[in-house]
Amino acid sequence: MVIVLKKLAFMLIIVTLTFCLCSPGVMAAPYYVTGNEIGNTLDILKITNPESVSITVFDNVYVFSGYADPGALINFYTINGYGSYELMPYSLYVGSSGWFYQQIVLSTGKNFFAVRAELIDGRYQQLRRDITLLGNDFVDSIKGIG
């Protein structure tokens, strides 16, 4: 009976080591980042919409799009009341095409975002985007209603 238990324990150790050493690492995004952070590489993330760092829009739903290295984890952050960027409930893995897009709901006024792409090997890149949503009051004043 003791020999059987020793063999079973040995097999359990072998199986555990096999899974630990052969399985891909897990990427966990930090919950907070700073807005001026750029990452440790500059070539894994390109945001095509919005192309510029700061834009103004009239629609409260905006679609971020771009491309990143296949397999990259893309996370979106927005500024909180304390001046740091907090993880949003939007994240996705980039497929083999390299393209990604994410629809985000904006608040009236300034919206500050950080988009972070992270690879399994630890390389990451972060880009900032500021989107100002003009409210209905502004639109109505242009139309001459307000």
* 3-state DSSP assignment of residue 55: strand
Q: 23, 27, 21, 19: which is closest to 121 by C-alpha? A: 27
- Tens of pLDDT, residue by residue, the chain (146 residues): 657 556 655 555 654 544 433 434 456 789 999 989 999 999 999 999 999 999 999 999 999 999 999 999 999 999 998 999 999 999 999 999 999 999 999 999 999 999 999 999 999 999 999 999 998 766 566 666 65
Q: 118, 114, 146: which is closest to 29 by C-alpha? A: 118
Alpha-carbon distances, residue 140 vs 9, 106, 127, 137 (angstroms): 74, 19, 33, 5
Q: 90, 120, 122, 84: which is closest to 103 by C-alpha? A: 90
- C-beta neighbour count of 41 within 10 angstroms: 15
- Whole-model pTM? 0.76
122: alpha, beta or left, given left = phi > 0 and alpha = psi -120 to 50?
left
- Is the alpha carbon torsion for 121, 42, 39, 32 positive or negative? negative
Ordered by where they begin, the domains of the chain are: 27-143 (2.60.40.10)
